[in-house]
Amino acid sequence: DAKTTQPTSMDCAEGRAANLPCNHSTISGNEYVYWYRQIHSQGPQYIIHGLKNNETNEMASLIITEDRKSSTLILPHATLRDTAVYYCIVRVDGGNQFYFGTGTSLTVIP
Amino acid sequence: NAGVMQNPRHLVRRRGQEARLRCSPMKGHSHVYWYRQLPEEGLKFMVYLQKENIIDESGMPKERFSAEFPKEGPSILRIQQVVRGDSAAYFCASSPYGGQGKPQHFGDGTRLSIL
């Protein structure tokens, strides 16, 4: 199902950058990479998405390797409120659904 | 998650009753997706609808579950004769169209508990 591989869990010190990796070695040319996060008991929150270029918005930066086989989500200054499960998703070309997998549980430590 | 509205937030039903979950997409969005999340698991796709049409129901259980998105009003996920295994969080998402490059925006879900 999921076309991505992420570490199960990560810790990050408050105020430091959190770098969350994702492997998507079977990604095809038209498929985007999306990042969401889910804080306990809430719905998934959209963070950022990209195709081949690096992207930045008010929440995060997305770095996609040149061969597009992996990417990194960067939260530049992690806060305690960034503690959540982060999902890296590649939407299957022509498909309608997102495969959420198990994501990375990020804990920001004071 | 402002924009996609789901209600109720919590729903309790006894076995054998019917559950109706409602979803109003973001303004300007005509594509709706339903997902189910069991405890300690990721979200699983159920169904994708556009106004008055079911586009993809490959994730829907074959019996007791149905979904609609009428021309007017919210999308409805209906579960008939609920069983304990239906206890889960049900999330709705919407997008302006269904192609690549447009993220889906999620509501805060309905937590269904079956007694």
In angstroms, the CA B64 to CA B41 distance is 22
Percent of chain A with pLDDT over 90: 74
How far A92 CA sits from the closest chain B CA (Å)? 9
Cβ distance of A46 and B101 shorter than 8 Å = no
Tell if the CB–CB gap between A96 and B44 is shorter than 8 Å.
no
Position A91 scores a pLDDT of 80
Distance from CA of A46 to the nearest CA of B (A): 7
CB of A73 closer than 8 Å to CB of A35: yes
| Of the partner residues A51, A96, A100, the one whose CB lies closest to the CB of residue B42 | A100
A17: DSSP letter: P
Per residue in A29-48, pLDDT (tens digit) is 888 999 999 998 799 999 99
> Which phi and psi angles does A81 have, rounded to 5°?
-75, -10
Question: Coil, strand or helix: which one is A82?
Answer: helix
